[in-house]
Amino acid sequence: MTKTSRLLTALLVAVPAAAWAGPSPAPAPAADEITATPNATQVGRVTYRGGTDLELTKIKGRRYVVAGAQNNYNPTDDPGVRIVDVTNPAKPVVAGYLPCNTSQNDIQVKGSYVYLAIDFNQKAQKLERADCYSQLGEDQPIAGGVVVIDISNPRKPRSVGFVKVPGAAHNTTVHPTKPILYVSDSETATNTEVHVVDVSKPKAPVLVKSIELAPGDAIHDISFNAKGDRAYVASSFTHSAIIDTTDPLAPKLISRIQDPAVNFHHQAEPTVDGKFLIISDELAGAEGLLFCPGGGLHVYDLSNEAVPRKVGAYYIPDAFVETRDTNSGPRPVEADAFRPFRCTAHVMQMSKDGKSMTMAWYSQGIQVLDISNLTGVSAGAQGTAVPMGIQRIAAWKVRFGDAWSAKMDDRGFVYTGDTARGMDVVKVTKPTKAERTQIDPGTWLTPAQSLARGLKDKAAAGPTTYFCFDRTYRAGLAT
């Protein structure tokens, strides 16, 4: 054990797993396999493989998690969409399941409809039972695009519509006030457009137009502010952008953020008050990383949207990343072999009050971060004392876990989409003063410090590890 890992272990408190639930129960891991801050406790689990994105919703007074599972390089016999009843989070139950033999299965929910993004990795084989294709009258997997799923009856989710988009659909984003989807595709190197889809008739979605927002790499993810008059675009290895979406059918570029400290612009999210933009760096696309914490979070003051000003960057504490075998590369050699060595910032979600955010950090599991000091950091850059802009206030991880997404409800329960484990349910409480002394807050860097670290990490990981490997995989040259 390294000095860093011994320090982390001393700062984190091992906690046992609590009640487990799901269609395929698995034995609870030994207590020493879970590490967590004292204010984070596991209460439940649903077991499956290939977990990716998830969203939270309510239907007829009950609470649900809509969870995607892909059948790509984390192979599973049960890919698709699960509607998990979490009204009692300690006893999550899969109310309904719709097979969909695809990837990446990014999830968006609006009303009683789920929008499922399908990229180029859909499998050629059909599932034996009724699935999202057969329900649409298709005999075989359809091209990349968005499948619309009706979940008004959570026990019987059903595909009701589909729209094909050029290239593929890596992520979808629902406009907050209008029946419009923005679809982004970072998996096709030549496609740098945002695809605008009209979903006013969910059973008959229509591709309205494809728009070139700015030259550069393929667009990975898009976020709207609450009003819907701004979109924030993360464009993979090149930049992030701020877009005027007052008219979502005619978006206009306001500015671009080209920060050499950021390797892979994965997600760009504004704070609730609109004063700051936080960009997650999924260093090297998360693949090929043997060091931790990998890419971090980069923060920009939006007082002047035309010229966003960087105020700093945040990294979780250093950690030791354990692998189950010694083979390199992100793909399993055997069907049951999985290497959760990935360690870098991934999916984030802001709290409604704007004071905190929840992060999935792959092998490092769930990270809950206090972001209430960002205003102080921005003021400090102008001459006053500079506090730590982001601090970790809770964390939970399990050995050999691989958290793709992590999202918290209004009761303090965090749900994960884990490629190796399925969905874990973790209760997080506000840390007491005593508990806070046991929690390593992580590292806050000035813009200059973050540039030095970002360039060093980029050199260590290789600038395009993900795309080089993934396109080789797609071509059938690697398995």
Per-position b or e across 400-429, b if 16+ CB within 10 A of its CB? bbbbbbbbbeeebbbbbbbbbbbbbbbbbe
- What is the predicted pLDDT for the residue at 32? 46
Q: What is the pLDDT of residue 388?
A: 86
pLDDT at 377: 85
Report the DSSP beta bridge partners of residue 423.
Answer: 46
**Of residues 386 and 245, more confidently modeled:** 245
Q: What is the CA radius of gyration of the chain?
A: 21
Handedness of CA 69, 349, 292, 451 (dihedral sign): positive
d(CA 479, CA 477): 7
Predicted pLDDT at 370: 97
pLDDT at 15 over 80: no
What does the pLDDT average to over 232-248?
A: 92
pLDDT at residue number 304 = 97
Whether pLDDT at 147 is above 80: yes
Tell me what pLDDT residue 390 has: 96
In the 3-class helix/strand/coil scheme, how is the chain assigned residue by residue?
Answer: CCHHHHHHHHHCEECCCCCCCCCCCCCCCCHHHEEECCCEEEEEEEECCCEEEEEEEEECCEEEEEEEECCCCCCCCCCEEEEEECCCCCCCEEEEEEECCCCEEEEEEECCEEEEEECCCCCCCCCCCCCCCHHHCCCCCCCCEEEEEECCCCCCCEEEEEEECCCCCCEEEECCCCCEEEEECCCCCCCCEEEEEECCCCCCCEEEEEEECCCCCCCCEEEECCCCCEEEEEEECCEEEEEECCCCCCCEEEEEECCCCCCCEEEEEECCCCCEEEEEECHHHHCCCCCCCCCCEEEEECCCCCCCEEEEEEECCCCCCCCCCCCCCCCCCCCCCCCCCCCCCCCEEECCCCCEEEEECECCCEEEEECCCHHHHHHHCCCCCCCCCCEEEEEEEECCCCEEEEEECCCCEEEEEECCCEEEEEEECCCCHHHHCCCCCCEEECHHHHHHHHHHHHHHHCCCHHHHHHHHHHCCCCC
User: What's the first-to-final CA gap in the chain, in angstroms?
Assistant: 31
The CA-CA-CA angle for residues 264, 172, 463, to 5°, reads: 10
pLDDT of residue 367: 98
**Cα–Cα–Cα angle for 335, 341, 344, rounded to 5 degrees:** 130
Residues 456/276/182/345 CA torsion (nearest 10 deg): 30
pLDDT digits (tens, 9 = 90+) for 282-311: 988 876 566 688 899 999 999 999 999 999
Average pLDDT over residues 399-414: 94
pLDDT at 128: 58
Mean pLDDT estimate for the chain: 82
**pLDDT at residue 177 greater than cutoff 90:** yes
Whether 460 contacts 291, CB under 8 Å: yes
Chain segment 91-121, per-residue pLDDT in tens? 999 999 998 888 888 999 999 999 999 886 5
pLDDT at 19: 28
pLDDT reported for residue 78: 83
CB 70 within 8 A of CB 90: no
Q: Tell the burial category of 468 from Cβ atoms under 10 Å away from its Cβ (0-12, 13-18, 19+).
A: middle
**Domains in the chain, CATH or no CATH each:** 3-474 (2.130.10.10)
- Is-cis flag, bond preceding 293, omega within 30? yes
Q: What is the pLDDT of residue 120?
A: 60
Separation of alpha carbons 202 and 307, rounded Å:
38
Residue 340, pLDDT > 70, answer no
Q: Is the pLDDT of residue 73 over 70?
A: no
Predicted confidence (pLDDT) at residue 150 exceeds the cutoff of 90: yes
Q: Which of 328, 318, 320, 265 is nearest to 458 (CA)?
A: 265
- Residue 145 in tokens: 């695009």
